[in-house]
Structure 1
């Protein structure tokens, strides 16, 4: 099996078979992301190559494969019929396959439209990981996400309507102190409209080779400390009123916050409030990410 570039997948796909369908990211402009800043350039792998990798995986792992993740950074941008062909082939060749998952940014989902998303669901695509990051338009522009709040909402609703599971990612601290509360409230508002299956929290960590790190070193962006991040998380969570599952399954976070929303909100807020009584020195130290 072949793989080009860094291996990058959600923690929830840790047990998934990885078969690379695309290389790199077609957007590759987010100011906080370092993954593909030095390449490789985005391209779609030939379907024949992808099928050969699936065949090899079937010979090696056989019936053990229950979930398949198709990297790299934005595989939803792959031409729909090619991605559908890969999904259908994987379903035929891997007998116990239950889930096929990709990363997908809102702008590429919107470009496909509902009918193409429905086609992918019918072909076997079962879950999309979408970087919402924020529901605040100014924050989205600053981080060069490539999608507006409205596009994020439209994409999320489209995925849900097509019958595909949706995992939305939120970055705590990405707005800085001055927009922290607005970021939290507007993001909760977007989540309430989209009503994703999962909300996954990440805490902003500056990464090497990114514009955000340059801004921090130049004093153009101020980071939130642990208490600031937790207060932001509190505002976000207390404003979510839709049914969804919350996870903070990532090494960047200060606390492991998870539960079924909205019923578990009181317990989660109590956990945050307890942590806010701790000295900030008790949380993980500041670090610059290298991966």
Structure 2
């Protein structure tokens, strides 16, 4: 495949055919994020996109999953997204899942009719970063959207029949906003009730504003016990029936998995065990993005 710059994908898309539909991220100013810094956001020429799919059909005998990269494929014109999805369905009749990243901005520009048509043509799920349910944390981290807007756009996606996977980041508010971050993030998840909830743990990447803040002492990272404290507070307040919860990213100190709300108590017991024995946590040197 022909890729421009670094290409990122959710962990669950490891076995997917990845085709760049756009380049970079349309926002790309989050203080904690180092992704897509080497390229400006742009919409890739449609014919190039379609050529990549035709090339893939010649090379791969069986494609079950397709991920539309880069950071914000949904900002393309709806008519062009329809052509892309029609092409996927025509070339890969065996394909059972087409997904992409989405932002509150790209969801907002799509009408409900457009979203429903995208679902009918094969867009099965989008991944959206909540990061935090706290407006204080979102403002600090330059997310560009208040929590209420992110929640509204997540609800809009689900109402139009597209599955939703939402991620947040433990530790993003530092010690001062630990409680607010945990409680408001749980509240936001509950309001959206997404099919999937994914939790990462904050890692500081070079060449980001957050990296500078940490070095200058303007932002304090959570200790491992504080990460567990924040995680416990959030999990205790989750009420999102049916949501598949995953905290098994390489950045996480503690692995948690389950389906809400039934597995919530079991996950809390795992946090209990980790709080009493920190050796159960992933060593710092093993963490990664």
TM-score range, shorter chain: over 0.9
When structure 1 is superposed on structure 2, of 147-156 and 79-88 the one drifting more is: 79-88
Normalised TM-score (structure 1)? 0.95
Q: Which runs of 5+ in 1 are unaligned?
A: none
Structure 2 residue 208 is the aligned partner of structure 1 residue 207: no
What does 1:153-168 correspond to in 2, within 5 Å?
153-168=151-166
Aligned to 1:170: 168
- Aligned 8 A contact 1:73 1:103 in 2: yes
Aligned to 1:15: 15
Aligned to 1:75: 73
Change (3 A) 1:287 1:213: farther
Per-residue displacement from partner, 1:121-170 (whole Å, max 9, x unpaired)? Answer: 12211110000111111111111111111111111001101101100001
Report the number of matched residues. 288
Aligned to 2:147: 149
After superposition, the CA RMSD in angstroms is 1.6
Aligned to 2:232: 234
- Aligned 8 A contact 2:253 2:281 in 1: no
Normalised TM-score (structure 2)? 0.96
Task: Provide the rounded CA distance (Å) in 2 between the counterparts of 1:207 and 1:115.
Answer: 39
Shift of 1:282: 5.6
Change (3 A) 1:224 1:82: same
Task: Provide the rounded CA distance (Å) in 1 between the counterparts of 2:105 and 2:148.
Answer: 10
When structure 1 is superposed on structure 2, of 177-186 and 112-121 the one drifting more is: 112-121
Per-residue displacement from partner, 1:44-71 (whole Å, max 9, x unpaired)? Answer: 1111111111111111113x10000011
- Aligned 8 A contact 1:85 1:123 in 2: no
Q: Which runs of 5+ in 2 are unaligned?
A: none
**What secondary structure does 1:196 align onto?**
coil
Task: Provide the rounded CA distance (Å) in 1 between the counterparts of 2:30 and 2:189.
Answer: 21
Aligned to 2:277: 278
Structure 2 residue 53 is the aligned partner of structure 1 residue 54: yes
Aligned to 1:27: 27
Task: Provide the rounded CA distance (Å) in 1 between the counterparts of 2:98 and 2:281.
Answer: 39
Shift of 1:206: 0.3
Structure 2 residue 270 is the aligned partner of structure 1 residue 258: no
Shift of 1:281: 9.5
Per-residue displacement from partner, 1:188-246 (whole Å, max 9, x unpaired)? Answer: 11111110000001000000110001000010000001111111111111111111110
